[in-house]
């Protein structure tokens, strides 16, 4: 999509430090953000423009800011932080996270979240003194916390840069158009969700940190969606046929606490009858109704029973207790009466939405799917309150109370869908299952699965670890979940094949439908974002393009030395 060019192109190129042809001049006379705002009002100039304020966007901003760049960052909601805040999901992390396998800045984020609780919450001394404090003691992570705490930490981190004018954050703004010439982005037009006012953001580099890769179609950057065919990627678990609409479920998360003896039953959702009786059409088959405690076990594909009790422990008769799975407040760790009960985030198989996509559809259709996904989540809550079987033989937990205050919304649901799959750039390097999947890697190398290691990328700019975990899809795939290996993030996966000054910063890097399943989680997204911010800074400082940095051994090593000096891990040393 193109902006109305008129004579804007010449003006935009001038204040961005570009020639009219779109080639970089990298002039040192870059206007500060405040000066630009004061002089032009509608047009904002910066060294780096970041579209999307999720974890990848925040990490990219922090990296660029500490290296002296002026930054503009937008965010579609009124909360920065993405999956950790506006989507409400505590971090999914690997078992080495406390000591290795993540950048020092990500560990700093985790430490600051813990310190926020120590400073501001009435913790028992036994909890306060824990080095590895986990406020929610949730099963899924060694750090389960409330969204607002993560938001407060990120806001505090960025506050000095905002005050000095080095950073401008435009919340509740979305990208609507872009101006591109000679394979370079000149400007991106954003619009306020509230007022409808437009602004034109002009920069030397642009980072796409949106949850769905929204900048890619606007800038005509080549991208892929959905599932590739096995004949294309030769991946062990790839689909037989390519299907760009075969995308993972998204989820509208919500938070609840439980007040025994009280009745907090919500009004019956309009679509409750539909969702109560809904049986997903999956291959292999889903074991019954979606609103039930029996689901498809991701690894075995067999029916598996889950437990649920707001007063129970982590397991109930050998089954996982969903209540503690993503619990963000464990009331037992706080002073008596500080909390009337635990607080748990509901992000379960039972509220994964599989009846449509957010990518490749019109705005109206996208909003319809989000509305239906909200009805699913509210129906799940109503079912839990009224019909869910209890261990004592009764039904329903009416004491479950929806917590809109936790999620920062009127309806009690997250501000934004929890997104598992994005548009993905066609990249210089595409990460395949043979690089990171345990069994596929063993087949390629001839090694034993128990000893095989992931592919080593000479251009590594990060590391991560997570099982390849694909949730049920809109095309009827049930879980695809299997072992992966601790992996690296290749710089080539951050480089579009053509557009020269766009850098992806989250789930939109060069992965496949299969490998996106292990590159999409919190610490990896943060690391990708930090690499993107460092890359833009290094390119501007050295007057080089990202492709020139990667394709020259001496420059690549210099860049890797630069990011390592800033706490970026590029090799795996599990501690």
Q: pLDDT per residue over 227-271, tens digit each?
A: 999 999 999 999 999 999 999 999 999 999 999 999 999 999 999
pLDDT tens digits, residue range 558-572?
999 999 999 999 999
* pLDDT at 80 (0 to 100): 98
| Whether the Cβ atoms of residue 293 and residue 308 lie closer than 8 Å to each other | yes
Give me 469's structure tokens.
Answer: 């975990």
Report residue 41's pLDDT band, with 50, 70 and 90 as the boundaries.
Answer: low
Mean pLDDT, the chain, integer: 93
pLDDT tens digits, residue range 469-518?
999 999 999 999 999 999 999 999 999 999 999 999 999 999 999 999 99
Give me 143's structure tokens.
Answer: 């750090």
Q: Is the dihedral of CA 311, 418, 133, 339 positive or negative?
A: negative
In the chain, what percentage of residues exceed pLDDT 70? 93
CA-to-CA separations, 418 to 57, 295, 465, 479, in angstroms, rounded: 16, 20, 20, 17
| Whether the Cβ atoms of residue 201 and residue 187 lie closer than 8 Å to each other | yes
pLDDT tens digits, residue range 84-97?
999 999 999 999 99
- Rounded Cα distance between 418 and 375, Å, is 15
* pLDDT at 173 (0 to 100): 98
- Residue in 402, 406, 279, 403 with CA at minimum distance from that of residue 350: 279
Give me 65's structure tokens.
Answer: 């800011």
Q: Is residue 30 pLDDT above 70, yes or no?
A: no
Q: Is residue 37 pLDDT above 70, yes or no?
A: no
Where do runs of H (alpha helix) occur along 460-552?
516-519, 522-542, 546-551
Query: Taking the model in full, what pTM does it have?
Result: 0.93
Q: Is the dihedral of CA 281, 284, 287, 293 positive or negative?
A: negative
- Rounded Cα distance between 399 and 259, Å, is 5
Q: Is the dihedral of CA 220, 471, 491, 77 positive or negative?
A: positive
| Whether the Cβ atoms of residue 80 and residue 58 lie closer than 8 Å to each other | yes
Least confident interval from 36-45, 204-213, 518-527, 545-554: 36-45
* pLDDT at 36 (0 to 100): 37
The DSSP annotation for 288-299 comes to: S-SSSSEEE-TT
| Whether the Cβ atoms of residue 514 and residue 470 lie closer than 8 Å to each other | yes
Report residue 573's pLDDT band, with 50, 70 and 90 as the boundaries.
Answer: confident
* pLDDT at 14 (0 to 100): 39
Q: Is residue 210 pLDDT above 90, yes or no?
A: yes
Q: 3-class secondary structure for 248-288?
A: ECEECCEEEEECCCCCCCCCCCCCHHHHHCCCCCCECCCCC
Report residue 317's pLDDT band, with 50, 70 and 90 as the boundaries.
Answer: confident
Residues in CB range of 348: below 8 A, 6 or more apart:
322, 325, 380
The DSSP annotation for 314-345 comes to: SEETTEEBHHHHTEEE-GGGB-TTSSSS-EEE
pLDDT tens digits, residue range 96-149?
999 999 999 999 999 999 999 999 999 999 999 999 999 999 999 999 999 999
- Rounded Cα distance between 545 and 288, Å, is 54
* DSSP-based three-state secondary structure for 389: strand
* pLDDT at 480 (0 to 100): 97
The domain locations on the chain are 223-247+424-496+505-565, 250-407
Report residue 575's pLDDT band, with 50, 70 and 90 as the boundaries.
Answer: low
Give me 164's structure tokens.
Answer: 């000095």
- What value does the mean pLDDT take over residues 285-291? 98
| Whether the Cβ atoms of residue 426 and residue 223 lie closer than 8 Å to each other | yes
pLDDT tens digits, residue range 392-445?
999 999 999 999 999 999 999 999 999 999 999 999 999 999 999 999 999 999
| Whether the Cβ atoms of residue 145 and residue 135 lie closer than 8 Å to each other | yes
């Amino acid at each position: 999509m193109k902006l109305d060019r008129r004579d804007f192109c010449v003006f935009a190129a001038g204040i961005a430090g570009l020639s009219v042809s779109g080639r970089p001049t990298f002039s040192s006379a870059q206007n500060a953000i405040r000066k630009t705002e004061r002089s032009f009002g509608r047009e904002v100039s910066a060294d780096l423009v970041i579209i999307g304020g999720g974890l990848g966007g925040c990490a990219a901003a922090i990296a660029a800011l500490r290296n002296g760049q002026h930054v503009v960052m937008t965010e579609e909601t009124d909360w920065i932080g993405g999956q950790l805040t506006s989507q409400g999901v505590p971090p999914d992390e690997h078992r080495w996270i406390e000591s290795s396998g993540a950048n020092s800045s990500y560990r700093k984020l985790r430490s600051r979240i813990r310190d926020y609780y120590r400073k501001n919450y009435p913790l028992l001394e036994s909890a306060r003194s824990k080095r590895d404090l986990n406020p929610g003691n949730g099963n899924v992570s060694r750090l389960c916390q409330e969204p607002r705490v993560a938001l407060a930490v990120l806001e505090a981190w960025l506050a000095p840069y905002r005050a000095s004018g080095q950073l401008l954050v435009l919340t509740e703004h979305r990208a609507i158009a872009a101006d591109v010439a000679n394979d370079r982005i000149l400007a991106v037009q954003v619009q306020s969700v509230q007022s409808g006012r437009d602004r034109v953001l002009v920069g030397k580099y642009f980072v796409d940190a949106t949850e769905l890769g929204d900048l890619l179609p606007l800038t005509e950057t080549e991208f892929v969606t959905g599932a590739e065919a096995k004949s294309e990627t030769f991946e062990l678990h790839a689909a037989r046929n390519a299907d760009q609409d075969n995308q993972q479920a998204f989820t509208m998360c919500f938070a609840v606490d439980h007040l025994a003896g009280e009745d907090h039953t919500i009004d019956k959702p309009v679509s409750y009858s539909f969702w109560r009786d809904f049986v997903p059409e999956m291959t292999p088959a889903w074991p019954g109704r979606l609103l039930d405690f029996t689901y498809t076990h991701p690894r075995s594909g067999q029916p598996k029973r889950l437990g649920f009790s707001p007063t129970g422990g982590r397991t109930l008769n050998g089954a996982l207790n969903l209540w503690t799975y993503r619990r963000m407040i464990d009331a037992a760790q706080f002073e008596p009466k500080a909390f009337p009960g635990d607080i748990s985030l509901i992000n379960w198989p039972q509220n994964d939405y599989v009846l449509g996509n957010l990518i490749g559809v019109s705005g109206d259709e996208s909003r319809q799917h989000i509305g239906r996904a909200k009805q699913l989540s509210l129906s799940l809550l109503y079912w839990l309150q009224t019909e869910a079987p209890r261990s004592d033989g009764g039904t329903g937990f009416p004491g479950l109370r929806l917590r809109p205050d936790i999620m920062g919304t009127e309806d009690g649901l997250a501000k934004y869908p929890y997104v598992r799959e994005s548009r993905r750039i066609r990249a210089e390097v595409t990460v395949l299952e043979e690089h990171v999947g345990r069994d596929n890697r063993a087949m390629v190398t001839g090694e034993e699965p128990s000893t095989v290691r992931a592919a080593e990328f000479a251009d590594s700019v990060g590391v991560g670890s997570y099982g390849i975990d694909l949730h049920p899809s809109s095309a009827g795939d049930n879980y695809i979940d299997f072992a992966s290996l601790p992996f690296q993030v290749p710089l080539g996966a951050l480089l579009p094949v053509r557009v020269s000054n766009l850098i992806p910063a989250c789930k939109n890097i060069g992965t496949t439908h299969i490998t996106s399943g292990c590159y999409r989680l919190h610490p990896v997204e943060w690391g990708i974002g930090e690499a993107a911010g460092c890359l833009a800074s290094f390119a501007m400082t050295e007057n080089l393009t990202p492709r020139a940095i990667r394709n020259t051994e001496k420059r690549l090593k210099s860049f890797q030395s630069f990011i390592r000096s800033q706490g970026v891990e590029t090799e795996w040393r599990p501690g």
